[in-house]
A and B are shown apart, each in its own frame.
Chain A
Amino acid sequence: MSTVRFIDEFRDRTLAARLAEGIAAAADTGRTYQLMEFCGGHTHAIFRYGVQDLLPANVKMVHGPGCPVCVLPMGRIDHALQLAREHGVILLTYGDLMRVPGPERMTLLKAKAEGADVRMVYSAMDALACARANPGREVVFFAIGFETTTPPTAIVLKQAKAEALSNFSVHCNHVLTPPAITSILASASDQASAEAPRLDGFVGPAHVSAVIGYRPFEAFVRNHRRPVVIAGFEPLDVMQAILMLVRQLNDGRCEVENEYTRVVTRDGNTKAQALMADVFELRDSFEWRGLGWLDRSALKIRAPYAAFDAEKRFVLKTAAIADNKACECGAVLRGIREPVECKLFATVCTPENPIGSCMVSSEGACAAYYTFGRARPAMAPALADAS
């Protein structure tokens, strides 16, 4: 463990200050720059390290919908609850999902306290191990995430098939980044949508791009005339990407640029892509919280793996379930509202008692704002004294 290196290198204050100067010098004081970071990982980094404090007032970050837990609609959470409570399965999922409120504010955590067998896993492989260890029980892995977590789910499905595991299945909720960004771009450029914020450019996804490459974003740039800079999740990555976006906008350029060259290539991880293509296919349409039904925006399990598809294996009721009326998660996910503009924020809705999904995950804009950013503007003089 002591061999984990290159942590501080990407969080260096001197370099950050230099980048901040660069951004301030480059940013034209006669205009504003409204930039959206798509990924929750970026949102988290911006708040955790205080990146916004290093930006000039006319460069503003708008937080995007790239938080896997946040965009999962109520109906899918309801499926997880049905599996755990009515079908008596061992339901396995990633930790954040356990606290997301479903219908009537029921959560998997509450279901667990009631006696349902809900367990948190750190990786998809843990789910497979659980199925092997419990041959007499139905084990369902509730899979969520963007392209980053999809290849591991594909591996698990292939492995389950190879072992002919008869008690294992996957409830697939994997979603795709490009259609979501398109939807945001479309809504932002839609003149009829007066509420939508003007978005001048995008900080593109880090880990997602490692898998899919940056080629898929080239079409967006052409179609929507907005620059995209792929960036890593470290705070210096984010600042460098912001500088690159400001320069593109100043020059009137609209390109896909890659700040995250140490990981991301144009074509991405072709092995992982082949694996995904082998196991999954596009759904015609999938509901996203906040963005609505988006065509060809999510994956389902292909026919040869149907035996391991929990949606085929169990009879699950699917109902359209509306979010809490006062909850602004939808608008927050589209960048239309800031978390503090929601009436529920920090009053009824807190991380301990979340109403909307954006308050649950640390990648969600509301949770990040609540946990790290509530004090804005900060007590700057006092902080300067603390030494």
Chain B
Amino acid sequence: MSDERRRMAGGLDYRHGRIELWHGSGGRAMAQLIEELFETSFDNPFLARRNDQACFEVGAGRLVMTTDGFVIAPLFFPGGDIGCLAVHGTINDIAMAGARPLYLAVAMIIEEGFPLADLKAIVASMAAAAKAAGVAIVTGDTKVVERGKGDGIFITTTGVGVVPVGVEISAERARPGDAVLLSGSIGDHGVAVLSKRESLAFETELLSDCASLHDLVARMVEAVPGIHAMRDPTRGGLAALLNEIAQQSEVGIALNEDAIPVAPAVRGACELLGLDPLYVANEGKLVAFCAAKDADRLLAVMRAHPLGRDAARIGTVVEDSRHFVQMQTSFGGHRIVDWLAGDQLPRIC
């Protein structure tokens, strides 16, 4: 225990305590918060050194860097919370380059009055997710804003990782003839979060799928180093991802609706709310584009991993100067799968 810490009147009051402005003002209260909560939870030698940065060795290969801001409501949802989401989200963005994630940095903007108990739960969730993923949170920053100037808590995570030599995964590399592989069912996260929205609350046993995908990716890259493109379908859902890749790679994509896994609870909720699962968010799924000859091998590796058990080949990359994503519907017709305009809204009629 440090000298400053000993001078404080007592430990943080997690039962009734709330974040106050001075927790972000650089004084003792901030030091106490960092030491008692962040250092203890994230527990690693980089943080213990108390520098304003972390210094580490990097092995061979290219360095990957990414950052992501997390602003969600509600903060806690079935199957997760903003804390683990902030860890999984950034790890996944690193992993989608085929990279091995190394370290994370965290910046928190907390609103005055935010319950310390909630903060503790969120930090514990981040620590557990980071530990499970084997990725240390090595540096961070805390700011407190006045009541009314934030929405509880905003978290930004930044991550670095290393791409193995010979791996070249990028959004513009999908080629006509490529197979499109999806790692599992879509829409679970979005529906789990929606079920807890104040204006919409409904009962569901569904849990968010939020998970770190780097281990799955490591197996995939090992089996097929020549994967062309890979991305995780988060906001905007599968539809947004496919349109992004079609645009970047200047190709079209032909989907088969029958092949796209959707959990019955997600279908039911989407049906009631008038939503299309193709546009609903995910936090633990990925889509990979690979040469047709590699597709069976890659799919087998994905299915052998717990996070890819329900993986499926959902379509094919085709030549199309308009870069449309088209789908053979289960009904027997076809349609475009377009970008989402604005938010998905329930129908009125």
Residues of A within 8 A of B (CB): 1-4, 7, 11, 13, 16-17, 20, 39-41, 44, 47-54, 66-69, 94-96, 99, 120-122, 126, 144-146, 148-149, 207-208, 235, 350-352, 361-363, 367, 370-375, 378-380, 382-387
Q: Are B265 and A2 in contact (CB under 8 A)?
A: yes
Chain A residues near B315: list those with CB within 8 A.
Answer: 386
B202 interface residue (CB < 8 Å to A)? yes
Q: Are B349 and A379 in contact (CB under 8 A)?
A: no
Q: Are B333 and A382 in contact (CB under 8 A)?
A: no
Q: Contacts A122-B199, A375-B322 known; A207 to B349 CB distance under 8 Å? A: yes
Q: Are A363 and B347 in contact (CB under 8 A)?
A: yes
Q: Are B255 and A386 in contact (CB under 8 A)?
A: yes
Q: Are A144 and B338 in contact (CB under 8 A)?
A: no
Q: Which of A3, A148, A373 contacts B335 (CB under 8 A)?
A: A373
Q: Contacts A122-B346, A379-B326 known; A53 to B268 CB distance under 8 Å? A: no
Q: Which of A2, A16, A39, A373 contacts B264 (CB under 8 A)?
A: A2
CA distance A94 to B89 in the complex (A): 32
CA distance A89 to B142 in the complex (A): 38
Chain B residues near A52: list those with CB within 8 A.
Answer: 333
Q: Are A385 and B336 in contact (CB under 8 A)?
A: no
Q: Are A375 and B199 in contact (CB under 8 A)?
A: no
Q: List 16 A-B contacts (CB under 8 A).
A: A1-B205, A1-B269, A1-B272, A3-B268, A7-B271, A11-B330, A16-B332, A17-B332, A41-B347, A54-B331, A351-B341, A371-B338, A371-B341, A382-B318, A386-B254, A386-B259
- With most chain A CB atoms within 10 A of its CB, the pick from B200, B320, B335 is B335
Chain A residues near B297: list those with CB within 8 A.
Answer: none
Q: Are A383 and B331 in contact (CB under 8 A)?
A: no
Q: Contacts A1-B205, A373-B336, A386-B255 known; A145 to B331 CB distance under 8 Å? A: no
Q: Are B326 and A375 in contact (CB under 8 A)?
A: yes
- With most chain B CB atoms within 10 A of its CB, the pick from A17, A67, A122 is A122
Q: Which of B205, B252, B349 contacts A41 (CB under 8 A)?
A: B349
B62 interface residue (CB < 8 Å to A)? no
Q: Are A13 and B331 in contact (CB under 8 A)?
A: yes
Q: Are A20 and B254 in contact (CB under 8 A)?
A: no
**Segment 77-95 of B: residues with Cβ below 8 Å from A:** none
CA distance A121 to B347 in the complex (A): 12
Residue of B nearest to A239 (CB): B331
Residue of A nearest to B268 (CB): A4
**Segment 297-349 of B: residues with Cβ below 8 Å from A:** 313-316, 318, 320, 322, 324, 326-336, 338, 341-343, 345-349
- With most chain A CB atoms within 10 A of its CB, the pick from B269, B314, B336 is B336
CB distance from B183 to the nearest CB of A (A): 18
Q: Contacts A4-B272, A371-B336 known; A378 to B326 CB distance under 8 Å? A: yes
CA distance A313 to B200 in the complex (A): 30
Please give the number of chain B residues whose Cβ is less than 8 angstroms from any Cβ of chain A in the complex.
49
CA distance A352 to B272 in the complex (A): 25
Residue of A nearest to B179 (CB): A386
Q: Which of A20, A44, A54, A373 contacts B347 (CB under 8 A)?
A: A44
Q: Contacts A379-B326, A385-B254 known; A53 to B349 CB distance under 8 Å? A: no
Chain B residues near A144: list those with CB within 8 A.
Answer: 348
18 more A-B residue pairs beyond the given contacts A2-B265, A122-B200, with a C-beta to C-beta distance below 8 A? A11-B330, A49-B331, A53-B334, A54-B331, A67-B349, A68-B348, A68-B349, A94-B345, A120-B345, A121-B199, A148-B349, A207-B349, A367-B341, A370-B338, A375-B324, A379-B252, A383-B334, A386-B314
Q: Are A1 and B345 in contact (CB under 8 A)?
A: no
CA distance A267 to B327 in the complex (A): 40
Q: Are B268 and A11 in contact (CB under 8 A)?
A: no
Q: Are A54 and B333 in contact (CB under 8 A)?
A: yes
Residue of B nearest to A351 (CB): B341
CA distance A271 to B345 in the complex (A): 29
Chain B residues near A3: list those with CB within 8 A.
Answer: 268
Q: Are B331 and A16 in contact (CB under 8 A)?
A: yes
CA distance A41 to B259 in the complex (A): 26
CA distance A20 to B333 in the complex (A): 11
Q: Are B331 and A66 in contact (CB under 8 A)?
A: no
Q: Contacts A13-B330, A122-B199, A122-B346 known; A387 to B252 CB distance under 8 Å? A: no
Q: Which of A1, A13, A48, A94 contacts B202 (CB under 8 A)?
A: A1
CB distance from B15 to the nearest CB of A (A): 29
**Segment 224-269 of B: residues with Cβ below 8 Å from A:** 252, 254-256, 259, 264-265, 267-269
Q: Contacts A16-B332, A375-B324, A375-B336 known; A386 to B316 CB distance under 8 Å? A: yes
CA distance A148 to B274 in the complex (A): 15
Chain B residues near A120: list those with CB within 8 A.
Answer: 345
